[in-house]
Amino acid sequence: MRQLLNIAHYEMLHIFKEKILFLMVFLVPLGYAALFGAAYVTAVLNNVPIAIVDLDDSKLSREIAAAFANSPHFRVVDDIKTYQELQEGMKNGRVRAGVVIPEHFEQDMAQHTLTRVLTVYDGSNLIWGYNTRKYIREVFNEFSASNTASYLADMGYNKNDIRSIMDTVSLNTEVWYNPTFSYANFLYMGLIMIILHQIGLLSVSLTITREKERKTWLQFLSAPVPAWKIFAGKAIPYFTANFFNYALLLWFASRFVHVKIGGSLALILLLGILYDLIITSAGFFISAHAPNSLQVTRYLMLLSVPFFMISGYTWPGTHIPAGINYLARLLPFTWMAQGFRQVTLKELNLSYIFPYILALVLMAVLAVLPAITFTKRAKPRQEGGLSINGGASYPGR
């Protein structure tokens, strides 16, 4: 135990001594989380800039304009009055949507003639497009119901008759798990998991490569210390730091970004421990076999975007090509991000989360076994390879 603690103490000294490593282990995850949190803190898209082109200028058309002005989802841009101005406003981004009320609108409505109101919205950004379309429909449905009720009242129907006519079919809609359609609830924790994955993996992956470049790795290989103790001693500081970051970022997400984090605390901690164990073990294994820090940094930085995109976190896995979907199932991020969402957002219990736990347990075993059984034998440097810290001169061919 003393040998293990000595190695852990030695590694912790390196973390606190090297400023870049200290920042990467303790401050970069929180910095990234704060940056992404600031981007998604509003969570719900309101005050969408919209233009009302009223070609009829009647009482009824002004009521439509007032309905949009009174909606919290929209902010009416008043100085756009023509279709050409609407087109220009959509191009330069002053507005994201527009409503064009045709001429003779009130007259056609009074004569019960089919009349069409044109609505346009910017679909170049799907978040703007989806939310704008939904909000426009809500405003028009409310206006249409109010207008119909007024028409029936003018015909002499009393309130009970109007209610019985209009409530022939009633649609009750309930949105489960994310009723406000919060984009932070949808995306933010996936970004947090990829931050923990990449920063944690990169930090621990530089441990042995650093020793190799400083010519100090031989003292570990030649010391009468079993491989598993070297792994444990080297990994414990990073495992502890990663789990600290996991807890810190969950608190930050809940407290400042207002992300919903519900469900079983035990399951949340279990998922974090397994995920951390996989990252730490895989990072140590990579470091033990990588020739230098440069290669580790290059390759790990290339993985973050593919891992996030193919995981099925933002796009349903059922609609991802089968080959890519199978590849995604081999990644710990896929199971962690999806399992975490099931626990915190849907508040599901262990019976539903068990497949995710089982997958992470198997991955943890597959990551730990090669890490604790690495060969304590120095590999000869390949001739013609790049020499790190080998002098001031450029290496010869």
Q: 208, 284 in Cβ contact below 8 A?
A: yes
Q: Considering Cα of 163, then 167, then 172, then 173, what sign does the dihedral take? A: negative
Instruction: Of 225, 303, 214, give the one whose Cα is nearest residue 206.
Output: 214
* Dist CA 103 CA 120 (whole Å): 17
CA dihedral 60, 63, 64, 68 (to 10 degrees): 170
Burial of 318 (0-12, 13-18, 19+ CB in 10 A): exposed
Burial of 245 (0-12, 13-18, 19+ CB in 10 A): buried
Domains in the chain: ranges and CATH = 2-41+184-372 (no CATH), 48-166 (3.40.1710.10)
Q: What angle do CA 248, 251, 253 make, to 5 degrees?
A: 105
- From first to last of its 397 residues, the chain has per-residue pLDDT tens of 788 888 888 888 888 888 888 888 888 888 888 887 887 677 678 889 999 999 998 998 898 899 999 998 999 998 999 999 999 998 888 999 999 999 988 888 888 788 888 999 888 777 778 888 888 888 888 888 787 777 778 777 776 776 666 666 656 667 788 887 888 888 899 999 999 999 999 999 988 888 888 888 888 888 888 889 999 999 999 999 999 999 999 999 999 999 999 999 999 999 999 999 999 999 999 988 888 888 788 778 777 778 888 888 888 877 888 898 899 899 999 999 999 999 999 999 999 999 999 999 999 999 999 999 888 765 555 444 444 444 334 344 4
* Residue type at position 352: Y
